[in-house]
Amino acid sequence: MREELLHTFGALHSANKQIVPSSDRPPKQLTHLGDRLRSRLESGLITHVQPPDQQARVALLQRRVEREQLAAPPEVLEYVASQVQRNVREREGALIRVTAFASLNRQQVDVRLAEVVLRDLVPDRVPTREEDVARLIIAQTADYFGVTADDVCGKERGRAT
């Protein structure tokens, strides 16, 4: 297989064709390819492709909406793009899942519907360190004063008797 790939690589290169291989590792780390193929890969442009940011993810979804003529408002695209970040196929699949569910159930596509439909795809949000620290401070303060955490966070600011 390596030999065939080398011949294909050579034929395309000789024909002045552009070759765009991709990998999750740089060529130097692809030791199983063999020295000849690895050196050919190293002779070209090597770049690291970053995952798209939120704006780019929304734009990709917007293109899909336009191409497929889907009914999805911008806030739903924002929600899907923020919740499904791993890859474009998952993101587009999530969008199609939301729009198909809405269509089948004759419902309006909105963020609340997207939240329900994508519940099993979207992991529960993990609290930040700041939220954990705040929760701990509230709990210890409540314990010290012999009140509940709700009392500490509530509107009533009167002194407990």
Task: Name which residue leads in pLDDT, 126 or 88.
Answer: 88
For residues 1-6, average pLDDT: 88
Whole-number Å distance between alpha carbons of 89 and 11: 32
Q: What is the pLDDT of residue 154?
A: 76
What amino acid is encoded at 147 in this protein? V
The domain 54-119 is placed in CATH, from the list 1.10.10.10, 1.10.3720.10, 1.20.1630.10, 1.10.8.60, at: 1.10.8.60
Q: Exposed, middle or buried by CB within 10 Å (0-12, 13-18, 19+), for 3?
A: exposed
Contact 40, 46 (CB under 8 A): no
Model confidence at 100: pLDDT above 90: yes
For 32-79, the pLDDT digits (tens) are 888 888 888 888 888 888 888 999 999 999 999 999 999 899 999 999
Q: Domain map of the chain by residue range?
A: 1-43, 54-119, 126-160
Q: Is the pTM of this model over 0.85?
A: no
Which DSSP category does 71 fall into? -
